[in-house]
């Protein structure tokens, strides 16, 4: 099993992969427009990461829109991206054998009050999860920090996965940040924090960063904007 605590050299590779992800997201914000299909955007993400020098992808790129955002691991389809859609993109580059992983959800055109409200709840949940991360903290407590905000807002039943996981040469490694985890965070563990709300037949929102655990909190490897972007 991979070592959960990474060396400085390993962390540099993960940071580099995360930087490629940020650069790619910046590009996609200029690229994406209504009328494109999910597959077209996913293909552009992959082409862009490889163009930056990634040796591969951490996992098959997720780009889902509209009602498809209710599927946390939905696959890009021929669905056309439309005004009023959320678009969720989850992707990562591999650099020197190490994975990046990030997710952003953006709005297209005009969003409803409910969409904006749910986005705001997920963002607060994600920030609370990141704030809870620190060496010595139980993974289950990080999950609770994120989950409690979503529960208190009345959307607890729509948070249908764990809050995060370790990252290294595999995109999913130990530790696991979920309610049942008995693992404890240690300095120099890279972990994701990625809460989401998925409302059946409507829409979903997920926001994910890759955090490097320290004694004082985290170094967030992902710098891309998280306040709601509507294009």
Give the domain CATH number at 66: 3.90.230.10
- 225 in any annotated domain: no
- Residue 72 included in any domain: yes
Rounded mean pLDDT of 197-226? 98
Contact call for residues 69 and 205 (beta carbons, < 8 A): yes
DSSP β-bridge partners for residue 203:
199
Instruction: Give me the pLDDT at residue 1, please.
Output: 54
Inside any domain, residue 195: yes
Longest dimension (CA), the chain: 48
Number of domains making up the chain: 1
List phi, psi (to 5°) of 102: -150, 155
Partnered with residue 87 across adjacent β-strands are 65, 106
* Residue 99: domain span: 8-220
Percent of the chain topping pLDDT 90: 99
pLDDT of residue 18: 98
Supply the mean pLDDT for the chain.
Answer: 98
Give the pLDDT of residue 199. Answer: 98
Assessment of whether the complete model's pTM goes beyond 0.95: yes
Sorted by sequence, the CB contacts under 8 Å of residue 122 that are 6+ apart come out as 105, 150, 195, 196, 197, 205, 206, 207
Which own/partner pairs from 41-49 qualify as long-range (CB within 8 Å, at least 24 positions apart)?
A: 41/76, 41/81, 41/87, 41/89, 42/76, 42/89, 45/89, 45/91, 46/91, 48/23, 48/24, 49/20, 49/21, 49/24, 49/91, 49/93
What's the order of all strands across the beta sheet hosting 62-65?
62-65, 86-91, 102-107
Q: Per-residue pLDDT tens for 163-191? A: 999 999 999 999 999 999 999 999 999 99
Whether 137 is in a domain gets the answer yes
Q: For residue 200, is it within any domain?
A: yes
DSSP 86-153: EEEEEE-EEETTEE--EEEEEE-S---HHHHHHHHHHHHHHHHHHHH--TT-BHHHHHHHHHHHHHHT
pLDDT at 197 over 90: yes
pLDDT for the residue 76: 98
- DSSP label at residue 208: B
Rg (CA), the chain: 17
144 pLDDT more than 70: yes
pLDDT of residue 93: 98
Q: Determine, yes or no, domain membership for 226.
A: no
**pLDDT at res. 50:** 98
pLDDT tens column, 44-88: 999 999 999 999 999 999 999 999 999 999 999 999 999 999 999
User: Is the pLDDT confidence value at 139 over 70?
Assistant: yes
Q: Is residue 227 part of a domain?
A: no
Does residue 2 fall inside a structural domain? Answer: no
């Amino acid at each position: 099993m991979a070592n959960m605590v990474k060396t400085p050299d390993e962390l540099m590779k993960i940071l580099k992969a995360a930087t490629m992800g940020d650069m790619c997201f910046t590009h996609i914000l200029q690229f994406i427009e209504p009328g494109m299909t999910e597959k077209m955007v996913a293909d552009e993400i992959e082409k862009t990461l490889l163009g930056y020098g990634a040796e591969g992808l951490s996992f098959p790129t997720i780009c889902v829109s509209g009602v498809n955002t209710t599927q946390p691991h939905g696959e890009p389809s021929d669905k056309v991206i439309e005004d009023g859609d959320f678009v969720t993109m989850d992707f990562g580059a591999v650099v020197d054998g190490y994975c990046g992983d990030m997710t952003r959800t953006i709005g297209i055109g005009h969003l409803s009050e409910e969409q904006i409200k749910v986005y705001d709840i997920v963002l607060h949940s994600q920030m609370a999860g990141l704030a809870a991360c620190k060496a010595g903290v139980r993974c289950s407590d990080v999950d609770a920090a994120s989950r409690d905000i979503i529960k208190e807002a009345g959307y607890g039943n729509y948070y249908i996965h764990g809050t995060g996981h370790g990252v290294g040469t595999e995109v999913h490694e130990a530790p696991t940040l979920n309610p049942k985890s008995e693992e404890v965070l240690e300095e120099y563990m890279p972990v994701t924090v990625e809460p989401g709300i998925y409302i059946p037949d409507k829409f979903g929102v997920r926001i994910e960063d890759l955090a490097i655990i320290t004694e004082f909190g985290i170094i967030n490897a992902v710098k891309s904007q998280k306040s709601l972007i509507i294009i």
